[in-house]
């Protein structure tokens, strides 16, 4: 405190001058309409800019929370859409009333915390795990289309096998024709994936949409994988060589939705029983 008083006393002339200057400015602004208007317009403009900067900074730091909320909302809306599709397009009375069919899929939103795209076998880590009901084998999608499926899960984290993984195969169909094949990455271009086992008699067009078939009960049907980039066939070859431009840019992946198929265990159990019979 003593040092503060010494400082003020030492610069008392300067502080006195500054006080008189401020008083003069105030008197000019107070008693002259033009100067007063200019001063208050300027001060209001500066205050508005300060508030805008403050709001922008606050908005930036809240983006993560906003994105998480949007992801949860997308998951909820996707579940409602799935239920609506079941009600609209399934005409069987049981399928309109059976809760197991109406609630065939559940969706859990998750944030991507690690991702690779440059390996032959790429994986994605998310911030949800078994505590959120996630288990190996579940599909991962987002608003742009298919992402991959869960390989392993701990209590709070899960690792997904990306579509950009040479070991991952997804049952797909050509939406325009209904013919189905298998999508599998060749380990080269992270923007394209191969569609295999499409027979030579099928009419393929550049730009045809490729979607999931729903045959394996992991992915819901009609989830976009991409569009046909090129389709060629060699002499005497039974199947096309088809390249598909992925709908997903995996280098920008931020959020995913994990698809829980409530009927998968029943389907797999039945098929396993049939497969074991001689």
pLDDT tens by residue, 257-270: 998 877 666 666 77
Element (H, E) at 40: helix 33-61
Q: Where in the chain are the domains? A: 2-61, 64-264
pLDDT in tens, the chain (278 residues): 677 777 777 878 887 888 888 888 777 767 776 666 565 556 545 654 554 455 455 545 556 665 665 676 676 666 656 655 554 454 454 444 555 444 567 888 888 999 999 999 999 999 999 999 999 989 999 888 999 999 999 999 999 999 999 999 999 999 999 999 999 999 999 999 999 999 999 999 999 999 999 776 678 888 999 999 999 998 889 999 999 999 999 988 888 999 887 766 666 677 677 665 43
Is residue 148 within 8 A of residue 161, CB to CB? The reply is yes
Which pair of structure tokens corresponds to residue 156? 């709070």
Can you give the pLDDT at residue 7?
A: 76
Beta strand 139-142 with 255-261 is antiparallel
Element (H, E) at 65: helix 63-89
Sign of the CA dihedral 79, 80, 81, 87?
positive
Neighbours of 155 (CB within 10 A): 11
Can you give the pLDDT at residue 48?
A: 45
Can you give the pLDDT at residue 175?
A: 93
pTM equals 0.62
Can you give the pLDDT at residue 263?
A: 67
Q: Tell me the C-alpha distance between 20 and 260, whole Å.
A: 74
Can you give the pLDDT at residue 40?
A: 55
Is residue 184 within 8 A of residue 169, CB to CB? The reply is yes
Can you give the pLDDT at residue 43?
A: 57
Can you give the pLDDT at residue 278?
A: 39
Q: How far is CA 209 from CA 185, 224, 256, in A?
A: 17, 7, 21
CATH topology of domain 64-264: Thrombin, subunit H (2.40.10)
| Burial label, 68 (beta-carbon count in 10 A; 0-12, 13-18, 19+) | middle
């Amino acid at each position: 405190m003593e040092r503060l008083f010494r400082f003020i006393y030492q610069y008392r002339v300067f502080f006195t001058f500054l006080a008189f200057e401020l008083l003069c400015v105030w008197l000019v602004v107070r008693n002259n309409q033009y100067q007063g208007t200019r001063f208050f317009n300027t001060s209001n403009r500066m205050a508005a800019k300060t508030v805008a900067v403050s709001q922008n900074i606050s908005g930036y730091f809240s983006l993560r929370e906003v994105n998480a909320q949007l992801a949860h909302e997308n998951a909820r809306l996707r579940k409602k859409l799935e239920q609506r599709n079941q009600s609209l397009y399934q005409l069987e009375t049981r399928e309109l009333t059976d809760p197991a069919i109406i609630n065939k899929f559940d969706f859990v939103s998750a944030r991507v915390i690690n991702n690779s795209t440059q390996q032959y076998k790429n994986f994605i880590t998310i911030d949800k795990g078994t505590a959120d009901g996630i288990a190996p084998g579940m599909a991962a999608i987002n608003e742009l289309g298919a992402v991959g499926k869960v390989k392993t899960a701990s209590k709070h984290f899960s690792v997904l096998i990306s579509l950009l993984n040479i070991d991952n195969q997804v049952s797909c169909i050509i939406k325009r024709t209904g013919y189905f094949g298998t999508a599998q990455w060749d380990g080269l271009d992270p923007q394209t994936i191969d569609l295999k086992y499409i027979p030579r008699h099928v009419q393929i067009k550049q730009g045809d949409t490729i979607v999931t078939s729903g045959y394996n009960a992991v992915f819901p049907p009609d989830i976009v994988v991409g569009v046909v980039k090129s389709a060629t066939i060699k002499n005497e070859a039974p199947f096309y060589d088809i390249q598909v431009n992925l709908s997903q840019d995996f280098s920008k992946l931020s959020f995913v939705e994990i698809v829980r198929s409530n009927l998968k265990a029943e389907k797999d159990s039945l098929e396993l029983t049939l497969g074991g019979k001689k």
